[in-house]
Amino acid sequence: MTWVVVVDSGGGNVGSVRYALERLGARSILSADPATIASADRVILPGVGAAAPAMARLRERGLVDAIRRLQQPLLGICLGMQLLYESSEEGEVECLGLLAGRITRLPSGPGVRVPHMGWNLLQKRAPRDRGDALLAGLGERDQAYFVHSYAAPVTQDTLASARYGVDFTAVAGRGNCYGAQFHPERSAAVGSRLLANFLALEA
C-alpha cells in the first residue's frame, strides 16, 4: 500500500484530498513534520487561499527546505501547485522554486470573469520526463474542475494546458515534481485517474 503524506499547509481541501486517496486504496496522513514528510512514498502539497500567507505558514513550520529536498514524487494541487514555482504576483512572494516561472493573475475581459470557476478542457502538451505516465488514460476531450484567480504560464514544464481568456498551465511536471492547477478531488473520473497515475509513478 502506498504511503502518502499530505502536507499540513493550512489548506481547506485536505479532507477531500485524503478521501480521494482513500478511495484509491492509498494510506495517507496529514503532517507538518519534516521527518514524516521525508519518509513518505508520495507527498501532496494541497492549498486553498493566497500565496503569501501559504508560504509564510510553510516557513513558520520549517517546511520550505524540507519540500525542496524531496526525492520522491511530489504533487502540488491548486495553490499548492502555484507554490512550486519561483514566485507569485499574488502578494509578491518568493515561492519554492521547483518549477520555472512566475504566477500571475488571470486577465478578466468580456465573458471572462475572475476567479475562474468551473469545468474546463485539458489540452495535453508534449510530455516531459514522466509526464506521459501522469496523464496516461486522459483523453483529448477530458475536462477538470478549476477554482482560481492566478495561474502559471505555459512553459517547458507544462504537461497539459487549459484556456480561460489566455492559455495557462493545468498540469506541470519536472523531475519528481508535479502540479495540478485544477482540483483532482473534485474532478470526478479525470481527477481520480490523475491521482491514481501519481500513486503509480516510479519513485
Catalytic residue annotation = 78, 183, 185
Determine the straight-line distance between the first and last CA of the chain, rounded to whole angstroms.
Answer: 14
In 10 A of CB 14, how many CB atoms? 20
Cell of 166: 489566455
Q: How far is CA 64 from the centre of its chain?
A: 16
Contact indicator for 142, 161 with CB cutoff of 8 Å: no
Give the whole-angstrom CA distance, residue 20 versus residue 53. 26
Contact indicator for 46, 80 with CB cutoff of 8 Å: yes
